[in-house]
Amino acid sequence: MQTSGRDASGSDAQASHALGIRARLRLDWPGFRLEVDEQLPARGVTALFGHSGSGKTSLLRCIAGLEHAAEGEIRFNGEVWQDTTTWVPTHQRPIGYVFQEASLFPHLSVLGNLRYGQRRRRGRGAVAADSATGRFSLEQAIELLGIGHLLKRRPAALSGGERQRVGMARALAVSPRLLLMDEPLAALDLKRKLEILPYLERLHDELEIPVLYVSHAPDEVARLADHILIMDAGQVQASGPLNQVLSRLDLPIRLGEDAGVVLDGQVAERDERWHLLRVTCCSAGLWTRDTGAKIGEHVRLRILARDVSITREPSHESSIQNTLPAKILSLGDDSHPALRLVKLEISGSPVLARVTRRSAEQLGLAPEQWVYAQIKAVALL
């Protein structure tokens, strides 16, 4: 919640601690054990991130009530879904679930699919209409995912991307209080994926219910997640606000090709002459290539560690446009013995920098020092 900047007020953070999803689970299978004891936030998108076989989908299925063998406890906003004496069956949990392969009903039209859940769930298990949990009407779900022109078709006549959008609309049309998404983009090729990502970003911006988003794709996580839970071999390796986890020096998390952080910002200024945008982010301004984003638009920035270098003095004769004062928080080892990762703080936000071990030595870098971070490239996500 601290990373989003949009809704980071102290009272929100406190309230969400009492709410949210409590999952203490154990699931034993031959050769695999899932063991989780976590509190997940009541708002925003939480990415369940890990390799295939790490247990992230199993965890999602447990929360949905699709794994009957799981032992433990699941509470949602204080409501017991599972403990030693209670088992709320899947069809009575107020969830929406998006499967990896859409799993539309082939014998129903698109509209029939959308209505299937809407008829059964609406008014049952869902909360009162005036609460701020983001009730979705069927029309809103259709509009949000841009599937109005597909309603009469059969699922067999849809493309993979269209099917997945219908799957998402179907899950939203039940007015869930918790949205569970199991790698909704994994079965799609790159083109379809790029077609759907904007819809997911809209969901992220407009949905007020918590979303658990299973993924093994770092780029999806960077674009969509507010929180992250990293899983490996059935265990949780780390969890927390996205940037706190990404900037940890002891975790080998790579955003795509490299270590880096993701920051939320807002487009403040456009420099027509040089085709640049100034994005305010953690009270600093960063120049980046003009992607056509509108002034005032909320955007996400990705800053990779390899694009950040460190100087002791502000350099005025440099090709690098973004030079900002930064405080060194800690230093850590990198994947190669010649390199070190430096965790910096720029106006309250953690940023990673990569330097050679030799230059770290020569500059005498140490925690608590003030230095200048030269940021060579900022990617708008």
Partner 1 sequence: MFLSDTDLEAIALTLRLAGVTTLILFALGTPIAWWLARTRSRWKGPVGAVVALPLVLPPSVLGFYLLVTLGPNGPVGAMTEALGIGLLPFTFWGLVVGSVFYSLPFMVQPVQNAFEAFGERPLEAAATLGASPLDRFFTVALPLALPGFVTAGILSFAHTVGEFGVVLMIGGNIPGLTRVASVQIYDYVEALEYGNAHRLAGVLLVFSFLVLLALYSWRPDRRRA
Give min distance, CB of 381 to partner 1, in A.
30
- Answer yes or no whether residue 213 interacts with partner 1 by CB under 8 A: no
Among 125, 146, 240, 256, binds partner 1 (CB under 8 A): 125
Restricting to residues 284-313, which ones interact with partner 1 according to CB under 8 A? none
- Say how many residues touch partner 1, by CB under 8 A: 33
Cβ proximity of 208 and 132 under 8 Å: yes
- Answer yes or no whether residue 109 interacts with partner 1 by CB under 8 A: no
Please choose, out of 102-110, 226-234, 306-314, 369-377, the segment that lies near partner 1 by the rule CB under 8 A: 102-110
Among 95, 188, 229, 373, binds partner 1 (CB under 8 A): 95
Cβ proximity of 372 and 311 under 8 Å: yes
Nearer to partner 1, 27 or 365 (CB): 27
Among 43, 56, 121, 204, binds partner 1 (CB under 8 A): 121
- Answer yes or no whether residue 124 interacts with partner 1 by CB under 8 A: yes
Restricting to residues 166-205, which ones interact with partner 1 according to CB under 8 A? 170-171, 174, 180
Among 62, 102, 196, 352, binds partner 1 (CB under 8 A): 102
**CA atoms in the 13 A half-sphere facing the CB of 242:** 31
Please choose, out of 43-51, 96-104, 222-230, 305-313, the segment that lies near partner 1 by the rule CB under 8 A: 96-104
Instruction: Write the interaction track for partner 1 spanning residues 24-63; mark x where CB under 8 A is met and - where it is not.
Output: ----------------------------------------
Nearer to partner 1, 90 or 323 (CB): 90
- Answer yes or no whether residue 91 interacts with partner 1 by CB under 8 A: yes
Instruction: Write the interaction track for partner 1 spanning residues 142-171; mark x where CB under 8 A is met and - where it is not.
Output: ------------xxx-x----x------xx
Site residues for partner 1 per CB under 8 A: 64-66, 89-92, 95-97, 99, 101-107, 116-117, 120-121, 124-125, 154-156, 158, 163, 170-171, 174, 180
